[in-house]
Chains A and B, each alone.
Chain A
Amino acid sequence: MRSPLLLLALACLPLSATAVEYIGGETAAPPTLEPVQYSRDIRPLLSERCFVCHGPDVSTRKAKLRLDTFEFATAERESGPAIVPGNAEDSELWRRITHADPDERMPPAKAHKAGFSEGQLALVQRWIDAGAKYEKHWAFVPPVAAAVPRSAGAPRANPIDAFVEQKLAVAGLEPAPEAEPELLLRRLLLDLTGLPPTLDELNQFATDFARDPEAAWSRWVRRIFEEEPYVSRYAEHMASPWMDAARYADTSGIHTDAGRQIWPWRDWVLEAYRSNKPFDEFLTEQLAGDLLPDATQANLIASGFNRNHVTTDEGGAIDEEYLAEYAVDRVNTTGSVFLGLTMGCARCHDHKFDPVTQKDYYRFFAFFDSNEEPGLYSQEASPNRAFEPFIEVPTDAQVAQRQENAAALEAVRARLDSPSSADLAELATFRAQLPAELGLVWMEAQVTSATSQGGADLAVLEDGSVLASGANPATDVHELVLSTDEVGITALQLDVLGDASFMNGAPGRADNGNAVLTSIDVEAVSRVDPTQRNQVALSWAWADYAQDNDDYGILQAFKTRANTGWAIAGHTDGAERSALFTADEAFGFEGGTDLHVRLGYESIWAAHVFGHVRIGLGSLPQEASARLPLAHGGWYSVGPFNLDSATGAYAAEFGPESDTTFAPDLDFTPPTGPALRWMYRSDFKDGAVMPLTSGTNVSYVGKEIWSPEARSLEVSLGSDDGFALYVNGEEVAAREVPRGAAPDQDRVRIELAAGRNSIVLKVVNTGGEGGFYFKALEADDTLLPDLVAAVLAPTWRADPGALDMRIQHAWRLARSPEYRATLAEESDLVAAAAALEASIPRTMVMRDRAEPRPTFVLARGEYDKADPERPVEPGPPAFLGGALPEGRRATRLDLAHWLTDPENPLVARVAVNRIWQQLFGTGLVATGDNFGLQGAWPSHPELLDWLAVRFIESGWDTRALITSIVGSDTYRRSSVPPARAREVDPADALLASYPAHRLTGEAIRDGALFASGLLVEKLGGPSVKPYQPAGMWQEVAMRQSNTRVFERGIGDDLWRRSVYTYWKRAAPPPSLLTFDAPTRETCELMRATTNTPLQALVLWNDEQFVEAARALGERAWIDAGGDTDTALIDIVRRCTSRTVDAGELALLRATLHDLTLSFEAAPEDARALLGVGEAPSMLAMSASSVTAPSDAERAALTLVASAALNLHATITQR
């Protein structure tokens, strides 16, 4: 987005208008009187036409000829030297560029390069004849302050004027007079704060200016730098272009374009401008804040400059590739922003124009490729994550709160952990009595055999447990035979034990200590008559623990679903587990039984086998079974089945009603779109309202419930809207009702069979939110699930303590109101702590690896083509001079010191030029992003160098630099160019007048908010989401993107300054984009300034601007006490700082009148227009006694104010 017009400007030095020929970095022929200068006049001509083949890049060099240095160009060759100093006619170069034969003439036609014009040839000839003197490129030589020119007239107080007026004098141009005071103040405030003046400020300034212009001016400049709110506004305005330069954004840019936190870095920049941090420190902290000795938190935050680049989270991306890309981005950004160099060109080969070699490039790269970061980032649900490495940036209050929470939690947990002795005694009694109370008897049994289908060795140990060793196949089935003489057996206890021979001693034999039991199968065989055998039907199960990342509950061991089972999470804490199974009918043969227990381990997870088990048998009378809690499976859902309308929704059947399997491969077909399937829902819980998809649709949720015996159960339901309930495929209850879901809206009694039951709840949503509630209301004397542990036979686990604690917890929960209250207190504290942690800002920082990654030159710049023959150490480009410390590896901090060395030829010039560009719209070097050989020649080289030297001498003081520029007459000139300047220098490169230029999108929006009184001023903080058209994020985002849905901010967020607007790279703020904001994917130093119809549409129709227009009209009306003319004058003055003349007032008045009539004729239109935007009416809030205007008048005022916000004079700096 370069602007060749600006380049054009530079070519127009003392020339006639017809001689304009300017392409890229070329200048046109200078006047014949001036001596030819290589850098300015000749080098651009040769660079454009010759250097690609005869320049520094050896790989593309032709005919072994090099023309970019005196030594090479004048070297002897077969055909004679290319250049014979002092004699163009004898020079081969001259012969070839003037050759009559097109095949001989250079540059060759196939190079697609322009030939030399006659004027250019004359220049080359004169240069060779004068000795072909080569000079080093101006920008690569340290700046030296030239003597301030002495003008013919009165000596100039400000040297800037002396430099500028000298050039004007050479061109024979008179400067424009000083601008009118009101425009002067507007110019200063817009340039330094990004906001136009208020009416009071304009009036005050006019008075002061009339008394003493100079004093009034300097007082205002001082005020802006020293007083609030101006200092903060200054910071916000100056930070804005730095965000482009540093490619700051709130999302990662690639693939899911994930949200990420780095706004504390943006706030660091604001503070740096606010406190006028010297530029050398500004640079150093951003490049190497993390490496400073005793780096402060602020230093670390500053290093986030190098983390602002885009990152990927695309699943297939390759780490190394993106690590290289990140380092490349840092090199290119640092090169552009601080050095004004296009380093990127040397990534694949030596630079074609600048003396940057590929090796230089990778030496620079080596500073940046050792950050402790992944190339491929993970995807997370939270858009507030900071990408690693990051630091937390808590406020003092948050730190204090964090400590307070921790202390409170510790106290509460201490209370929870110390039950009273009375409680403990009661519990002991309870446990001692429970077996008798239930009539529970544990029985004798001997393991007589243990075999493995897969060939593992199973040994029966003395204690009756079975230990596996030897072969460990991927899947296996273990069969244990228990012999017992008992009858009436109803219970089976399975202890899963650890052993030192397993990974971490955990019970599973898998590599990670985990195991999955996919089936349990029990067969009773009579010892008296082995033909008598029966399969034992297990009807109920309980386990003390199961994994919950998928449906891994104990019920899965009943093999109702393929490919899953009871998973014990042995890879986490390695703890031993216990399970209890019951049968609905007692078993056991008179005369003795051999019980064959087959444990299946046939999951997709290899060798997930229990290594050490013990099985116990018991008897639990029928009455006792009734006290066991129901066993609940995990929730499943299928849907939503979207409907066009709610009509017939209750009658519509999609299939899940009659399904009792929850099989994940069943297809259910919705009215449109692909088939739907049951999905496991780990997020669904009983006893709370669970959300379902909103809209007009039908959703199904369901689960299995296993009952120890046939049982009648009351369930409590809620639904949004109505529901139907199916038990084992049969409808048992239904209700058609429009409502939102709440707990306990309906109660239904259902009959459960012994063993497995399926429960399906169909929820019909007729629009809006959806949801359901489900709770099984068990009998009062039912044991809580955790208390089932007390039913177990004393287990053989190495550490039964965990089970004891579980029993204690459940028992206290059931008996002690105080315990329940303390638990609630604990969970509140945990939630508060989690909320606090989530609210603590985090920001991305640089953090070097302990061992730097070795860096090599990458052939053709490709990440996987590291050239082992060409290792490099970090270092800056050699041609720029300067030294690094020797004897150790250089760091980014050394780089920062090298950059800020006063001898560095580029850094101060580039920085000074950027400030000039900000104040005048164009830099003294028009190509502010390229100071290399292809860049533009400075319009005022001596002035640039003088400013650069002064900048360094001042201690890199940005405010002092700005003060000196805005103090000049050059800055204060009228933007109306004098007649002769318009002809000779239409682009105003010589600064005969102040160059008018359009404001940035940010300044246009902020100015509208400020003029209308809506702007909410608050320095810093997380980014905000003001108005934007609907759907712009969804349209481009992936489904799993956490920045897919744009949620507009509320309240103040709508009216903050634009520097705080949330920046999503894949879809940047549309109105700013329309006004030429870049996407912030790469460093951008020069925004284009276009003028398009889409810009007019934004100013007319963007909700933000319509609302601002309404507020501006209302505000002016109130201030004017209801006087229409005054209000109209004020509206325009707030926007343009100018008082309209009588003719303009007449236009305004007539339009207001016309529009008022039109809105009177259509009162509903008036109300509709006044309803745009969230801001309340100022008239309603105003305490003044002004007669309120009618709706028609207000609407008309809104459109007139909108016109004012649209004026060229409003959106232009002039």
Chain B
Amino acid sequence: MTDPIEQRRLLFTRRRFCGLGASGTLGAAGLLGRLSLGSLLTGGIAQAAQPGPHFRPKAKRVIYLHMEGGPSQLDLFDYKPGLRHRFDQDLPESIRDGQRLTGMTSGQSRFPVAPSLFRFSRYPNAQDGAWVSEAMPYTGGVARDLCFIHSMHTDAINHEPAITFFETGSQQTGRPSFGAWASYGLGSMNDNLPAFCVLISQGPGNTQALSERFWGSGFLDGRHQGCKIQSGANPVPFLRDPAGVSRSDRRKMLDLVRDMNQREAERSFDPEIQTRIAQAEMAYRMQMSVPELVDFSDESEETLAMYGPEVKKPGSFAGNCLLARRLAERGVRFVQLFMRGWDAHSNLPKELREQSVLVDQPQAALIRDLEQRGLLEDTIVMWSGEFGRTVYSQGTLTNENYGRDHHPRAFTTWVAGGGFKRGISYGATDDFGYNITENPVSVHDLHATMLNQLGFDHKQLVFRNQGRDFRLTDVGGRVVHELLA
């Protein structure tokens, strides 16, 4: 290729899709060889250059632990000992204050207060300790690293819109998810893995539906779509070569495709062909790097033990927590981990206990493990349901049993790492854990604060779609500086 115009054009094109404005000094071959899968996944010929951070980021990556179904803050983190004396009393109307009810309890004639059956202990943190339920002793053990927000609130009262809101900043469908925004804004730090990965664990409790939209790219380029990774033999769909095809056979086939495509490029001057060749090479490398990713055999016994007995079980929350750490370690920007099964409308004490046993040790291990490896500093670990649960019992209240309905007005979320304050509690609720009494934090606020740590002014990280600038925080959100170190 001696034609100078041609060379300039190709370089121009590559720069655009690689987001590598400064690599012009490399020869074409060198450039190609250095292309990373991440940049190819997130850049793209038809995509404007990555916006990049607006200021120096405190955090490089996010692990988003979504407790799908809405765990009960009253039985885990929002300690209300005074409720003991109010067992089975009607929730005062002044507290409920015309609150919208779901169709599931709107027919209930009374709203009896159900004090938590769980005992709470005070665990040391940077303040006067954090109250954590007996259901989560390991989590209590890492309270020094956690930033509890007891004053989270959301707009939606049913799962589908609430999860959509928590993931995309809008209750309506069609918006990009947080991970897609992070991928769009920051790109990947890894040559061989997507910038945004999604892990799913099934809990024993009452589950709710998931949907591609929760990790979708909306109107952003499809490259920013979350890539589901399953533990087990087939971690990414279509990753595995068909039966009978060896690595060397694949290489031969791939070489043939590359050589034929190269000839086509010379005939057609189609710059897209170089991209395609590079993408196929990345696919080839990904076939090796992903199985290595999900293979825990290089983990020490201590590490495996720390995550608990289920760590080797494919798809378990423990296994996925470890996988999340491995992804973080490899530079994946955004890991979205769903734990299903928190929707305890009835039999809450039993279901919550079963769910908690599966998440408590692994999530604490994740914090410790990241800390030990020096990763917690620049990794945001966020733990939340899409809403909390009501203080009053749904269905029959007995001394041993109760259920709780959805509660969007106040619930507890915790964040660790990534420049968030360690060992604090923020915000508070009333005696019933029903209404926020100080420092409310909305979903948009939380998103804005997390984006801030990733180096973005949430009002400026926008994408123009159908003539309008859209952002993760829609038209709201404020950075909650009080949460930041």
Contact = CB atoms under 8 A, between A and B. Distances in A.
A885 interface: no
A1096 B9 contact: no
Nearest to A675: B350
B288 interface: no
Interface in B341-400: 350, 354
B157 A316 contact: yes
A254 B159 CA distance: 10
Interface in B180-200: 200
B243 interface: yes
A316 B406 contact: yes
B interface, size bucket: 35 or more
Given A2-B465, A1029-B238, A1031-B230, A1144 B209 contact: no
Contacts of B48: 4
Interface in A1057-1098: 1065-1068, 1070-1071, 1073-1074, 1076, 1079, 1081-1082, 1088-1098
B261 A1207 contact: yes
A979 B257 CA distance: 27
Contacts of B204: 673-674
B198 to A, nearest CB: 10
Interface stretch (B26-34, B126-134, B267-275, B446-454): B267-275
A393 interface: no
B241 A1100 contact: yes
Contacts of A932: 467
A1169 B259 contact: no
B230 A1067 contact: no
Interface stretch (A197-205, A459-467, A591-599, A1159-1167): A1159-1167
A1 B460 contact: no
A719 interface: no
A977 B269 CA distance: 8
Given A1070-B237, A1082-B174, A1155-B249, A255 B160 contact: yes
A1148 interface: yes
A930 interface: yes
Contact of B249 (A983, A1037, A1199): A1199
B350 A674 contact: yes
A975 B40 CA distance: 25
A334 B47 CA distance: 28
Given A4-B46, A1066-B209, A1071-B238, A112 B244 contact: no
A1097 B174 CA distance: 26
A314 B41 contact: no
Interface in B466-481: 466-468
B278 to A, nearest CB: 9
Interface in A289-312: 310, 312
Nearest to A1073: B212
Contacts of A354: 467
A484 interface: no
Contacts of B263: 1143-1144
A223 B148 CA distance: 70
Contacts of B276: 1091, 1096, 1208
B46 A1089 contact: yes
Contacts of B213: 1066, 1079, 1081
Contacts of A257: 209, 211
Contacts, number: 290
Nearest to A112: B460
B256 interface: yes
A1038 B222 contact: no
A432 interface: no
Given A1081-B213, A1092-B41, A1199-B245, A1101 B238 contact: yes
A314 B406 CA distance: 13
A1172 interface: yes
A344 to B, nearest CB: 8
B282 interface: yes
Contacts of A1097: 236-239, 283, 286-287
A923 interface: no
Contacts of A1164: 244
Contact of A1096 (B221, B230, B249, B279): B279
B347 to A, nearest CB: 9
B211 A1065 contact: yes
Interface string B243-258: 1111011101111110
A316 B207 contact: no
A1 B222 contact: yes
Contact of A996 (B41, B272, B354): B272
B253 A1151 contact: yes
Nearest to B271: A986
A575 B296 CA distance: 68
Most buried by B among A24, A935, A1097: A1097
A933 B9 contact: no
Given A1035-B228, A1097-B238, A342 B211 contact: no
Interface string A310-336: 101011111000000100000000000
Given A1035-B228, A1038-B208, A1100 B466 contact: no
A256 B158 CA distance: 13
A975 B273 CA distance: 14
Contacts of B279: 1091-1093, 1095-1096
Given A315-B102, A1088-B46, A1155 B252 contact: yes
Contacts of A1067: 211-212
Contact of A112 (B212, B275, B459): B459
Contacts of B244: 1159, 1162, 1164-1172, 1195
Contacts of A315: 102-104
Interface in A462-480: none
Given A982-B9, A1090-B223, A1100 B212 contact: no
Contacts of B354: 674
Contacts of A1188: none
Contacts of A1037: 209-210
Contact of B219 (A1, A254, A935, A1070): A1
Contact of B245 (A979, A986, A1151, A1165): A1165
A1208 B103 contact: no
B282 A1093 contact: yes
Nearest to A348: B475
A289 B209 CA distance: 34
Nearest to B280: A1096
Given A982-B6, A1088-B222, A1090-B44, A1172 B243 contact: yes
A444 to B, nearest CB: 48
B74 interface: no
B210 A930 contact: no
Given A316-B406, A1169-B243, A1082 B173 contact: yes
Given A1029-B238, A1092-B223, A1165-B245, A1208 B273 contact: yes
B253 A1199 contact: yes
B37 interface: yes
Contacts of A25: 467
A221 to B, nearest CB: 25
A678 B205 CA distance: 19
Contact of A317 (B158, B256, B460, B465): B158
A2 B464 contact: yes
A1093 B210 CA distance: 25
Contacts of A1154: 252
Given A314-B160, A996-B272, A3 B174 contact: no
A1102 B241 CA distance: 9
A1200 B268 CA distance: 23
A998 B252 contact: no
7 contacts: A1-B221, A254-B160, A376-B103, A930-B466, A1090-B46, A1091-B276, A1206-B257
Given A317-B102, A1169-B242, 10 more contacts: A674-B350, A1036-B200, A1066-B211, A1066-B213, A1067-B212, A1073-B225, A1090-B223, A1158-B246, A1169-B243, A1207-B264
Minimum-distance CB pairs A-B, first 8? A934-B467, A316-B102, A1168-B244, A1169-B244, A1093-B283, A1168-B243, A1165-B244, A1096-B283
